[in-house]
Amino acid sequence: MVNIRDVSKKAGVSVATVSRVLNNKDVKKETFEHVMSVMEEMKYKPNSVARSLSKKQTNTIALIFPVVSNPFFPKLASSIENEAHEKGYKVILCNTDDNPEKLRNFIDSINDGFADGVIFSSHLLDEAGLNTLKNSGIPVVSIDRNNFNNEFSSISVNNKMGGGLATEHLIEIGCKKIGHLRGPEDEITATNRYWGYRSVLKENGGMDPSLVALGYYTVEGGYQGMKELFIRHPDIDGVFAANDLTAIGAMKAAYEWNRKIPDDLSIVGFDGIDMVRYMIPSITTIQQPINEMGKLAVNELIRKIEEEDEEINNYELDVRLIQNDSTLR
Amino acid sequence: MVNIRDVSKKAGVSVATVSRVLNNKDVKKETFEHVMSVMEEMKYKPNSVARSLSKKQTNTIALIFPVVSNPFFPKLASSIENEAHEKGYKVILCNTDDNPEKLRNFIDSINDGFADGVIFSSHLLDEAGLNTLKNSGIPVVSIDRNNFNNEFSSISVNNKMGGGLATEHLIEIGCKKIGHLRGPEDEITATNRYWGYRSVLKENGGMDPSLVALGYYTVEGGYQGMKELFIRHPDIDGVFAANDLTAIGAMKAAYEWNRKIPDDLSIVGFDGIDMVRYMIPSITTIQQPINEMGKLAVNELIRKIEEEDEEINNYELDVRLIQNDSTLR
DNA sequence: ACATTATATGTAATCGGTTACAAGTATAAT
DNA sequence: ATTATACTTGTAACCGATTACATATAATGT
């Protein structure tokens, strides 16, 4: 592979000048063009590793994400990767599904200098992991997950509002007994969605803890949780599932129990993954602005990297209800 | 950040010795332990960029993938990332959905030295892109996509066999008129799946070109294609969809046309994405061994990188039929 | 014409590691 | 005791860029 010295020799200038051409610094126009043509001719590509070493910047973002279990995450990852590429950054992936040890490994190596910053979302990240990240000294943005101690910038959505929207919608279309399939108890997003549901039902005098079952943010969990709700409340006629996968599980349960959707049971999910449109009937959902979230995360991170800005910002984006057939009465 | 010289000073040895400790070369046991403890104490982490520069190895794989449109790809990406991590490699993502220019950009920068090898699957990669890859001189493995000229190692599945299995299954359960929703005409996987279908139907005397419609590997395509088939053949009672998304689209069409699945219309998909289990009824599919494919791709690539082995291997894995409710007669 | 300033380029140190080679020390062999 | 051999360690060049500083040249002012 041809390097900067080869170019400098052939062009009859110093390596510094070649470097200046590469970085658009002050060089005489003729020199610039001459060096450029030599680079062209020799098919020279500056080595990005060497560049990173001297600049102490890799233009790389590490993305710590649960990637497969829920299609929401690949979509978010994709929007992050797109925006990063747009801004000249590469993205290194660490998908953490169910593998805390792998995650620990990755986190431990994060301040090797290979990444300029981190975007993370894994709920697998425990206190120790968070501390390692914090102490690494590299900029971090958390996404889809609040951080109580305000240690990182964060991008999240108004989960409580979403839970409220979903529940209000179910009330509006005439549901009398509305259940909730909540996400994991240790996830703040799940808790907020639950609080949105809860506060709306309280206002309307219909809150009852037995109307809430765990759906664990999974299809299987939603299926099991919905069956529990059917047993506890045979007359349940609406359910707010904490995410779309859970809603799909609830649909499967409803089908087994011979409840017609939306007439016997209306369902609202959360996230806005493609799948909700493919189900029959299609599922009403609370849509998260995935693209905006990804862009915001990347730009906030890059701001921190390039401006060496320690300021912590917490963005909370709004969600909106997408009505589909599962609540069409 | 503490570097190797800081450690060498504090430990009272040369940087070479510290480096030897890092690389498990010959050092006296006591020295080894002493240096190790100093590194521990100073919380020293070797800088991976510097390391990459001198070793001329980044331990990084570039992954060129369509990542979001079809859940099959995130899953495959995930299995690749897992195996790579297992082997001490990082994965840089380039998702190409509908963005040929981005892809070109990425390809052009691939021999900057930031990646040791490439795994790619995008059908967006045109002749020019393939050439750039080929000329880059870095090891490449193609996945889920044959390469006629045998320029890269490849991992694929026996698509023709899959198409055959699907079609035979439909015949076995008693379908009399079996259609096919094929993938894009320029994709070799789609063509092979079609040939599997075609050869089985020919053997059974039931092949008729009008039984084939384009499904484009998408939900919408499957939906439109299925409607075409209903119009052309009102008595169609079985369909092999070239992938699971297409099968889902076909299901939606069947629902609109009031055909009961599986009794009026039996459906078989291809890929084995989670979604097929969530649909009601669940969809019979030809499952690809995603994990094996990912592992194989990574290991083949690493072999090429580390052994500087130019040998080209083409692996073709078997698929298997997973029977679900959409063909349960 | 000469001093001053701006512009363009080169020299060499640097980023943080690895490693070929040299040199020193300990152990075995004669 | 002396030489050969194995084992450890250090010195310094190197990977391929960037950049502070020095220097040379051109442009401007008086």
* Look-up of token digits 């459906």: B267
What pLDDT shows up at residue A150?
80
Q: Which nucleotide is nearest to A56 (CA to C1')?
A: C15
Question: What span, in angstroms and rounded, lies between the C-alpha atoms of B233 and B256?
Answer: 16
Half-sphere exposure (CA, 13 Å, Cβ side) for B8? 14
Q: Could B252 and A47 be called an inter-chain contact, meaning their C-beta atoms sit closer than 8 Å?
A: no
What pLDDT shows up at residue A174?
96
* Look-up of token digits 């070479």: B16
Paired with A178 in beta bridges are A238
Which residues in 36-95 of chain A line strand C, with CB less than 7 A from it? 50, 53-54, 56
User: Which is more confident, B235 or A149?
Assistant: B235
Grouping H, G, I as helix, E, B as strand and the rest as coil, residue B319 is: coil
For the purposes of burial, counting CB atoms within 10 Å of the CB of B209, is it exposed (0-12), middle (13-18) or buried (19 or more)?
exposed
For residue A197, name the pLDDT band (cuts at 50, 70, 90).
Answer: very high
pLDDT reading at A113 higher than 70: yes
pLDDT in tens, A147-183: 657 889 999 999 999 999 999 999 999 999 999 999 9
CB nearest B113 (choices: A49, A102, A277): A49
Residue in B300, B316, B323 with CA at minimum distance from that of residue B80: B300
B58 near A CB under 8 A: yes
Average pLDDT value for residue range A28-34: 93
Grouping H, G, I as helix, E, B as strand and the rest as coil, residue A316 is: strand
Residue A157, sorted as left (phi over 0), alpha (psi -120 to 50) or beta, turns out to be beta
Around Cβ B234, how many Cβ atoms within 10 Å? 10
What pLDDT shows up at residue B67?
80
User: Which is more confident, B146 or B184?
Assistant: B184
Paired with B315 in beta bridges are B155
User: Cβ distance B12 to B37 under 8 Å?
Assistant: no
Inter-chain contacts counted by CB atoms under 8 A, chains A and B: 139
Residue in B23, B24, B26, B22 with CA at minimum distance from that of residue B11: B22
Round and report the angstrom distance from CA (B4) to C1' (C21). 21
CB nearest B78 (choices: A53, A92, A97): A97
Paired with B302 in beta bridges are none
Most confident of A130-139, A308-317, B189-198: B189-198
In the sheet with B212-214, reading across from the earlier edge strand, the strands are B212-214, B178-182, B238-241, B266-271, B284-287, B320-322
Residue in B219, B223, B213, B220 with CA at minimum distance from that of residue B190: B213
pLDDT in tens, B280-308: 999 999 999 999 999 999 999 999 999 87
What pLDDT shows up at residue B146?
67
Q: Could A92 and B97 be called an inter-chain contact, meaning their C-beta atoms sit closer than 8 Å?
A: no
Average pLDDT, chain B: 94
Instruction: Write out the H or E segment, with its range, that includes residue B269.
Output: strand B266-271
Residue in B298, B287, B272 with CA at minimum distance from that of residue B82: B298
B312: tokens are 């080209």
Question: What span, in angstroms and rounded, lies between the C-alpha atoms of B209 and B228?
Answer: 13
CB nearest A81 (choices: B47, B95, B248): B95
Round and report the angstrom distance from CA (B31) to C1' (D7). 13
Nucleotides of C under 7 A from a protein CB: 7-12, 14-20
Q: Could A71 and B74 be called an inter-chain contact, meaning their C-beta atoms sit closer than 8 Å?
A: yes
A60 near B CB under 8 A: yes
CA distances from A72 to A93, A271, A293, B220, B312 (A): 16, 7, 12, 20, 37
Report the amino acid identity of residue B63.
L
pLDDT reading at B268 higher than 90: yes
- Check residue B296 and report its DSSP letter: H
Around Cβ B255, how many Cβ atoms within 10 Å? 14
pLDDT in tens, A290-303: 999 999 999 999 99
B260: tokens are 């009961």
What pLDDT shows up at residue A309?
78
Report chain A residues whose CB lies below 8 A from the CB of B278. 219, 248-249, 252, 275, 279
Q: What percent of chain A has pLDDT over 70?
A: 99
Round and report the angstrom distance from CA (B1) to C1' (D18). 19
Average pLDDT value for residue range A180-192: 95
What pLDDT shows up at residue B119?
97
Cite residues whose beta carbon is less than 7 Å from strand D: A 1, 3-5, 15-16, 19-20, 22-23, 45-47, 50-51, 53-55; B 12-17, 20, 26-32, 50, 53-54, 56, 113
Separation in Å, CA of B98 to nearest CA in chain A: 11
User: Cβ distance B73 to B66 under 8 Å?
Assistant: yes
Question: What span, in angstroms and rounded, lies between the C-alpha atoms of A293 and A188?
Answer: 17
Question: What span, in angstroms and rounded, lies between the C-alpha atoms of A214 and A217?
Answer: 8
CB nearest B91 (choices: A93, A109, A251): A93
User: Cβ distance A253 to A223 under 8 Å?
Assistant: yes
For residue B42, name the pLDDT band (cuts at 50, 70, 90).
Answer: very high
User: Cβ distance B229 to B236 under 8 Å?
Assistant: yes
Q: Could A48 and B82 be called an inter-chain contact, meaning their C-beta atoms sit closer than 8 Å?
A: no
Nearest-CA residue of chain A relative to B279? A279
Average pLDDT value for residue range B262-272: 98
B243 near A CB under 8 A: no
Q: What is the DSSP string of A223-252?
A: HHHHHHHHHH-TT--EEEESSHHHHHHHHH
CA distances from A138 to A111, A116, A119, B244 (A): 7, 7, 11, 42
List Cβ neighbours of A62 (8 Å cut-off, separation of 6 or more): A91, A92, A94, A106, A110, A114, A115, A117, A118, A119
What pLDDT shows up at residue A26?
86
What pLDDT shows up at residue B63?
97
* Look-up of token digits 């609830």: A250
CB nearest A248 (choices: B48, B50, B278): B278
Q: Could B74 and A67 be called an inter-chain contact, meaning their C-beta atoms sit closer than 8 Å?
A: yes
Residue A301, sorted as left (phi over 0), alpha (psi -120 to 50) or beta, turns out to be alpha
For residue B153, name the pLDDT band (cuts at 50, 70, 90).
Answer: very high
What pLDDT shows up at residue A144?
80
What pLDDT shows up at residue A111?
86
User: Cβ distance A122 to A70 under 8 Å?
Assistant: no
User: Cβ distance B120 to B142 under 8 Å?
Assistant: yes
What pLDDT shows up at residue A151?
86
What pLDDT shows up at residue B223?
98
Q: What is the DSSP string of B54-87?
A: HHT---EEEEEE--SSSTHHHHHHHHHHHHHHHT
Strands B266-271 and A284-287: unpaired
Q: Could A1 and B67 be called an inter-chain contact, meaning their C-beta atoms sit closer than 8 Å?
A: no
pLDDT in tens, B51-99: 999 999 999 999 999 888 899 999 999 999 999 999 999 999 999 887 8
What pLDDT shows up at residue B163?
98
B57 near A CB under 8 A: no
Q: Which nucleotide is nearest to A19 (CA to C1')?
A: D18
Paired with A214 in beta bridges are A182
Report chain B residues whose CB lies below 8 A from the CB of A291. none
pLDDT reading at B111 higher than 90: no
CA distances from B51 to A215, B14, B279 (A): 46, 17, 50
CB nearest B78 (choices: A45, A67, A249): A67
User: Cβ distance A107 to A116 under 8 Å?
Assistant: no
pLDDT in tens, B2-32: 999 999 999 999 999 999 999 999 899 999 9
Q: Which nucleotide is nearest to A15 (CA to C1')?
A: C10
Paired with B237 in beta bridges are none
Question: What span, in angstroms and rounded, lies between the C-alpha atoms of B270 and A306?
Answer: 46
Round and report the angstrom distance from CA (B30) to C1' (C29). 27
Radius of gyration for chain A, computed over Cα atoms and rounded to the nearest angstrom: 25
Which of B102, B114, B243 best tests the A interface by mutation, with the highest count of A CBs <10 A? B114
Q: Could B78 and A68 be called an inter-chain contact, meaning their C-beta atoms sit closer than 8 Å?
A: yes
What pLDDT shows up at residue B147?
64
pLDDT reading at A36 higher than 90: yes
Interface list for B 158-197 with A (CB within 8 A): none
Average pLDDT, chain A: 94
What pLDDT shows up at residue A278?
95
pLDDT reading at A329 higher than 90: no
B122: tokens are 């995008």
What pLDDT shows up at residue B81?
97
